[in-house]
Amino acid sequence: MGNGSGKGSLSPEFLSSSKRFSEAELQDIKKLFISLAYQSRSHGEFVIASVFQTHYGIHGALGGRLFDLVTQSREEKHLYYEDLVIAKALYEKGSPEEMDEFMYQLMDLTGNAHIQRAEIEAVLLSILETVLSPKDAVPDASLPEESLQAFLNAASFTDEVEGDDGPFMSSQNFQKWCTLVPSIKRFLATLLKSPAPGMVGRQVPSLVVPPDTNPKVVVLRREHAWHLAGALQQHEAVMWVLTYHSSTHGLSFNTFLGNVAGVKGSTVLVVRDKAGYVYGGYATQAWERHSDFYGDMKSFLFTLHPTASIFRPTGANNNLQWCASNYTSESIPNGVGFGGQVHHFGLLISSSFEHGHTRHSVTFNNPALSETAVFEPDVIECWAVVVKGDNDQATDGSSALKGTVLERFKEDRNMLNMVGLAASSDS
């Protein structure tokens, strides 16, 4: 990525990269370099790896690989101003193709152009350590090994190459993985931006659980929320409030509809079935009685276990969301669901809440989300997406929660105050 030596030579790559910035932007990069070089105790000449990684908050295998790529893997392990300009030009001004190629190289920890599963696992663990916090990312502690494996299970690997030790991830495999787990690409695309609260790619929605629900029975975890946030806009990934949980309220369709009746905005519907599979859908419109499909193209289906993937609308049809109640016609099955066709849904939970089905749908191009097409729910939960407007007042789904769901969380004032909603929920 350049041959910056810190000795005054200006490479053609540096000169070309510099032209992508304004004078003010170059001054800002220079100030950043001087600050990091001062912390490196190098008399302003270069930045060392530990200071670089601490500033950007990237450690572990990914932090080391990023520093090596930015410095062209020099043995001296020094990053110069020239390197920083070239790297930031790529990250902040580069073409999508340039970014994709660099992100793919980040996965190649050994630098042998054959990215194996162990390398992907190490990079993924570095990412989760960053977005969740180190203690949450330790296997067998807060982050179960199964969560790490769920993200890995979404990845594809090409057949073994002669002379290599096993299957590897091609560039096409990598792009497919980023489509199924968009939070990965969002995170990698912001590596050279100074960390800030709510930063795209590192945003984990706050999960608010009511006092009458045991947190241990909640299916949706923080790593799941980060995964789903990768398909959302920033303002949709601030706070999610648990409005219905079958262990607390019972497996009842009518109770479900009653609990979500006041939510006018988006919701996250999560199912864990008796086979142990976890999946669901992101619904952008209220769960209200309809005799046909409705919804918009922001809805999507997802899986969380044993594979973590997101399936967005393909545009093949508008059969996004389904909510039918108290219909007597066989052509209008009662229940809640997403995608596909009547009697052949991408996901449907019947109105009895005792069974459902999931099949491939052209709406989302999803496979069956469970082990079998027909499933029995074990746990069903629904989260209301609280959205903050520019005026810091709760809007959309959260406005409908005033005096209802949010009122039930007065004991959890501290969490509400974190996003400025405690006051607005009383108005």
| pLDDT per position as a tens digit, 195-245 | 887 888 999 999 999 998 999 999 999 999 999 999 999 999 999 999 999
Determine the pLDDT at residue 319.
98
Mean pLDDT of 320-324: 98
Mean pLDDT of 243-267: 95
Three-state secondary-structure class, residue 157: coil
Amino acid identity, residue 4? G
pLDDT above 70 (res 391) = no
SS (H, E, C) 11-46: CHHHHHHHCCCCHHHHHHHHHHHHHHHHHCCCCCCC
pTM, rounded to two decimals? 0.87
Q: Which two tokens stand for residue 149?
A: 């494996």
The answer to which of 6-20, 278-292, 321-335, 387-401 has the lowest mean pLDDT is: 387-401
Among 378, 379, 398, 380, residue whose Cα is nearest residue 388: 398
Distance CA 281, CA 286 (A): 13
Order of strands, sheet of 356-357, starting from the edge strand that comes earlier in the sequence: 321-324, 335-341, 344-350, 356-357, 374-375
Mean pLDDT of 117-129: 93
pLDDT above 80 (res 181) = yes
Q: What is the pLDDT of residues 48-58, one digit of tens each?
A: 999 999 999 88
Determine the pLDDT at residue 416.
42
Q: Which two tokens stand for residue 169?
A: 């991830």
Mean pLDDT of 312-332: 97
Determine the pLDDT at residue 144.
79
| H/E run at residue 331 | none
pLDDT above 60 (res 322) = yes
Q: Residue 346 half-sphere exposure, CB side, CA atoms within 13 Å? A: 32
Query: How far does Cα 381 stand from its chain's mean position?
Result: 19
Mean pLDDT of 391-404: 45
Distance CA 323, CA 169 (A): 40
Determine the pLDDT at residue 145.
87
Q: Percentage of the chain with pLDDT > 90?
A: 76
Q: Which has more confidence, 92 or 420?
A: 92
Determine the pLDDT at residue 159.
76
Distance CA 78, CA 97 (A): 27
Distance CA 227, CA 256 (A): 25
Three-state secondary-structure class, residue 23: helix
Residues 6+ apart with CB under 8 A from 360: 340, 346, 366, 367, 368
Cis peptide before 306 (omega within 30 of 0): yes
Q: Is the separation of the CB atoms in 381 and 246 below 8 Å?
A: yes
Among 333, 265, 263, 275, residue whose Cα is nearest residue 303: 275
- β-pairing verdict for 206-208 and 239-245: parallel
Q: Residue 17 half-sphere exposure, CB side, CA atoms within 13 Å? A: 25
Q: For residue 379, list its beta bridge partners.
A: 272
- The residue assigned the tokens 């979404």 is 154
pLDDT above 70 (res 390) = no
Q: Which two tokens stand for residue 63?
A: 């932090």
The answer to which of 77-91, 152-166, 399-413 has the lowest mean pLDDT is: 399-413
Q: Is the separation of the CB atoms in 289 and 314 below 8 Å?
A: no
**What's the angle, vertex CA 312, arms to CA 327 and CA 290, rounded to 5?**
15
pLDDT above 60 (res 154) = yes
Among 190, 99, 104, residue whose Cα is nearest residue 155: 104
Among 198, 278, 286, 197, residue whose Cα is nearest residue 236: 198
Among 77, 195, 68, residue whose Cα is nearest residue 131: 195
- The residue assigned the tokens 């960053």 is 130
Full DSSP string of 185-247: HHHHTTTTS---TT-TTS---EEE--TTS-GGG----HHHHHHHHTTS-GGGSSEEEEEEEHH
Instruction: Give the DSSP letter of residue 306.
Output: S
Q: Which has more confidence, 394 or 302?
A: 302
Query: How far does Cα 326 stand from its chain's mean position?
Result: 36
- The residue assigned the tokens 């959302």 is 232
Determine the pLDDT at residue 142.
59
Determine the pLDDT at residue 389.
56
Return the exposure string of 220-233: e unless at least 16 CB atoms fall within 10 Å of the residue's CB, then b.
bbbbbbbbbbbbbe
Q: Predicted confidence band at 163 (pLDDT cuts at 50, 70, 90)? A: low
Q: What is the pLDDT of residues 334-365, one digit of tens each?
A: 999 999 999 999 999 999 999 999 999 999 99
Mean pLDDT of 403-417: 44
Straight-line distance from the first to the last Cα atom of the chain, in angstroms, rounded to the nearest whole number: 55
Please provide the size of the chain in residues. 427
Mean pLDDT of 412-424: 39
Residues 6+ apart with CB under 8 A from 48: 40, 42, 77, 78, 79
Distance CA 147, CA 206 (A): 18
